[in-house]
């Protein structure tokens, strides 16, 4: 059984635990544990995913200006890692970070799990990490991701041409952002809705 010798931050939603992975923990994983143990801990299902994670470690996860904050998504009922939601480009000096998210299997999609996770991670980012701006870069063809950002009222800022490489082909991205005042308004609306729902069921 793989254990880490310092406690990660754990967030909880209705169905999920979100377990933090810091740069320090990431380094410890790749220095002290086997490939099988790392795959199990990170929820990696293939050699390709492991090699990509190992490449990120080898190339460095933190610079003077930039670091990250990863959260792995675990089902409460069985502890299975089903995805991640993270701030993979966090620039403390400018109070901004880029958010990313993925689920490990089609079986976990269309169940509202990432909607649930994103609320917890955004709250952590704005309230605990002192972020003022959260950015998201998304393929214009990734409809579920675009819908998720719209649900959290991210604002589209632009279209980036030939922005990233996929299978040897350059593809476009769209950039979205959510600012602290917008998040605070969104959070106030959540509180009002929850109060209304509680009143309706009482």
* Residue ranges of domains in the chain: 1-106, 132-202
Q: Which of 36-45, 74-83, 171-180 has the highest mean pLDDT?
A: 171-180
The tokens describing 177, both together, are: 């952002």
Binned at pLDDT 50, 70 and 90, residue 50 comes out as: confident
Q: Is the pLDDT of residue 168 over 50?
A: yes
What is the mean pLDDT of the segment spanning 71-83?
Answer: 89
The pTM for the full model equals 0.80
Q: Are the C-beta atoms of residues 163 and 200 closer than 8 Å to each other?
A: no
Q: Specify the CATH class of 132-202 in words.
A: alpha beta
**Using CA atoms, how far apart are residues 170 and 61, in angstroms rounded to an integer?**
24
Q: Is the pLDDT of residue 112 over 50?
A: yes
**Sheet bearing 155-166, strands edge to edge:** 10-12, 16-21, 66-75, 81-91, 96-103, 133-138, 169-179, 155-166
CA-CA-CA-CA torsion sign (196, 155, 129, 22): positive
Q: Please return the burial class of 187, using the count of CB atoms within 10 Å of its CB with bins 0-12, 13-18 and 19+.
A: middle
Q: Is the pLDDT of residue 60 over 80?
A: no
Q: Are the C-beta atoms of residues 139 and 146 closer than 8 Å to each other?
A: no
Q: Are the C-beta atoms of residues 101 and 114 closer than 8 Å to each other?
A: yes
Binned at pLDDT 50, 70 and 90, residue 66 comes out as: low
54-60 contact pairs (CB < 8 A, 24+): 54/30, 56/26, 57/26, 57/27, 57/29, 57/30
Q: Is the pLDDT of residue 157 over 90?
A: yes
Q: Is the pLDDT of residue 89 over 90?
A: no
More confident of the two residues 178 and 65: 178
| pLDDT of the residue at 27 | 73
**Using CA atoms, how far apart are residues 124 and 39, in angstroms rounded to an integer?**
26
Binned at pLDDT 50, 70 and 90, residue 15 comes out as: very high
| pLDDT of the residue at 137 | 96
Q: Are the C-beta atoms of residues 172 and 139 closer than 8 Å to each other?
A: yes
Q: Is the pLDDT of residue 202 over 50?
A: yes
């Amino acid at each position: 059984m793989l254990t880490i010798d310092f406690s990660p931050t754990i967030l909880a939603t209705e169905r999920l635990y979100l377990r933090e992975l810091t740069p320090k923990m990431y380094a410890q994983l790749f220095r002290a544990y086997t490939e099988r143990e790392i795959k199990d801990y990170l929820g990696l299902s293939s050699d390709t995913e492991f090699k990509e994670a190992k490449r990120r470690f080898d190339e460095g996860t933190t610079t003077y200006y930039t670091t990250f904050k990863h959260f792995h998504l675990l089902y409460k009922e069985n502890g299975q890692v089903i995805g991640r939601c993270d701030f993979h480009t966090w620039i403390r000096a400018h109070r901004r970070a880029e958010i990313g998210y993925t689920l490990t299997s089609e079986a976990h999609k269309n169940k509202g799990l990432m909607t649930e996770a994103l609320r917890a991670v955004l709250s952590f980012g704005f309230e605990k990490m002192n972020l003022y701006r959260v950015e998201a870069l998304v393929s214009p063809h990734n409809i579920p991701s675009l819908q998720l950002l719209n649900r959290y009222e991210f604002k589209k800022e632009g279209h980036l041409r030939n922005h990233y490489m996929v299978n040897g082909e350059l593809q476009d991205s769209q950039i979205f952002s959510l600012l602290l005042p917008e998040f605070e308004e969104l959070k106030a609306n959540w509180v009002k809705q929850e109060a209304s729902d509680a009143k309706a069921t009482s």
